[in-house]
A and B are shown apart, each in its own frame.
Chain A
C-alpha cells in the first residue's frame, strides 16, 4: 500500500496530509491520556505497535504472482482505537520511508491515511458492531482485522485513482486498474492477517484479560466465557 516517494502530485499529497493531521493530533492527545491515567496498559500498547512493525515487514507472495505485505493495524485499532493506531502507523511508515525508501516522506500523509486511519476505523467499527451483536469475539476480531487490511489497499487504489484518472474512463477505470494490482493480491494476505491477529488476541486474553476489560474491549462476563471455553 506504500505510495512511493514523489508519486503523488500536488495538490494530492498536501490534501492527504491535511486529512490525516487531525486524526494524528487526537491520537497523540489520547496517547498522553493513556500515559498519565492508564500506565498499566503501556506494555500492551508497545505490543500493538510492535505487531505493526513485524507484520508490515513481511512481504508475502500472493495468488496474483506478486508480493505484498499485511498491515497489522487491526490489533491496535481493536484494543486502543483508530486514533492511537494512526500514530503507531505513522512511526512504522517513517521508519520505512527513511531506511528502506519504501513509501516516502511526501506521500506520508496519504499512506498514514490508508494504513493508519481508514483501515483501523473500519476495524474498530466492525469490532464494536460485532461484539454488540453478540457474535463470537474471535470471529469478530478475524473479520475486523482482515477487512481492515483489505480496506487499506482499496483506499490506496482510490488515492492513486484520484491523482491519476485514466484518460479514457476517468477515475473509475483507473481505480479498477490499481484495485486489480493491490486489492486482489491482498485477499489471501488479509485472511492470514485476520487469523494471526485473532490468535494474538487469544493470547492476550490468556495472560492479561484485566487490561482488555479496563480498556473496555471486552466485558468481564465475555472474558470469563472465553477463558472457560479455551481452558
Chain B
C-alpha cells in the first residue's frame, strides 16, 4: 500500500473533525450567554488549584496583552517550525532527484 498511512491519517482526522462538530453543537445548545466552551485544559487545572485557596507565588514576567497578540506568538511558533521542516524535506528531496 503506497499511500496506506496517508489514508488512515485522513480518515482519522475526518472522524475527529466530525466528532467535534457534533459535540460542539450539543455544547453550544446548552451554554449560557456569558459562558465559553473549549477552554484550555491547563487553565482548568489552574482553576482546580485556585479553588483550594492557593495563590500563585510568581507571575509571568510578560503576558501577551490580548488574545490577538497571543495568537501572533503561537502562529510564529508554528511558522518557525514549519519553515524548517519544509526547507529540509525540500532540500533532501531535490537532492535525491538530482542524484
Q: A199-B6, A230-B2 are in contact. Are A53 and B40 (CB under 8 A)?
A: no
A6 contacts partner chain B, Cβ-Cβ < 8 Å: yes
A160 interface residue (CB < 8 Å to B): yes
Residue interface mask A185-208, B partner, CB < 8 A = 1: 110100110011011001100011
Q: Which of A65-73, A117-125, A127-135 contacts B (4 or more CB under 8 A)?
A: A65-73
Contact A1 B42 (CB under 8 A): yes
Q: Are B52 and A65 in contact (CB under 8 A)?
A: no
Interface centre among B24, B42, B49, B70 (most CB of A within 10 A): B42
* CB-CB under 8 A for A66 and B5, given A52-B81, A160-B49: no
Residues of chain A from 167 to 224 with CB closer than 8 A to chain B in the complex: 177-178, 181-182, 185-186, 188, 191-192, 195-196, 198-199, 202-203, 207-208
Q: Which residues of B contact A17 (CB under 8 A)?
A: none
Q: Which residues of A contact B75 (CB under 8 A)?
A: 57
Q: Which of A47, A59, A92 contacts B40 (CB 8 A)?
A: A59
B49 touches A164 (CB 8 A): yes
Q: Which residues of B have CB within 8 Å of A15?
A: none
Knowing A54-B82, A196-B9 touch, does A67 contact B64 (C-beta < 8 A)?
no
CA distance A101 to B65 in the complex (A): 10
Report if A181-B44 is in contact (Cβ < 8 Å); known contacts: A53-B80, A196-B9.
Answer: yes
- Residue in A4, A43, A59, A191 whose CB lies within 8 Å of B88: A43
Q: How large is the interface on A (under 10, 10 to 19, 20 to 34, 35 or more residues)?
A: 35 or more
Residues of A within 8 A of B20 (CB): 61
- A interface SS class: helix
Residues of B within 8 A of A65 (CB): 23, 27, 37-38
Interchain CA distance A122-B89 in the complex, whole Å: 27
**In the docked arrangement, what's the CA distance between A64 and B37, Å?**
10
In the assembled complex, the Cα of A117 lies from the Cα of B96 at a distance in Å of 34
Contact B40 A67 (CB under 8 A): yes
Chain A residues with CB under 8 Å of chain B are: 1-7, 9-10, 43-44, 46-47, 49-59, 61-68, 92, 95-102, 104-106, 138, 156, 160, 164, 177-178, 181-182, 185-186, 188, 191-192, 195-196, 198-199, 202-203, 207-208, 229-231
Closest 5 CB pairs of A and B: A53-B81, A6-B56, A6-B58, A54-B81, A50-B84
- A–B complex contacts, Cβ < 8 Å, 23 sampled: A1-B42, A3-B45, A6-B57, A6-B59, A44-B88, A49-B84, A50-B85, A59-B40, A61-B24, A61-B38, A65-B23, A66-B41, A67-B40, A95-B77, A99-B64, A178-B48, A186-B41, A188-B16, A188-B19, A196-B9, A208-B92, A229-B1, A231-B2
A195-B12, A202-B5 are known contacts; what are 13 more A-B pairs with Cβ within 8 Å?
A1-B42, A4-B56, A6-B57, A49-B81, A53-B78, A56-B77, A66-B44, A98-B62, A177-B48, A186-B41, A192-B16, A199-B6, A207-B93
Binding site for A on B (CB under 8 A): 1-2, 5-6, 8-9, 12-13, 16, 19-20, 23-24, 27, 37-42, 44-46, 48-49, 52, 54, 56-64, 70, 73-78, 80-85, 88-89, 91-93, 96
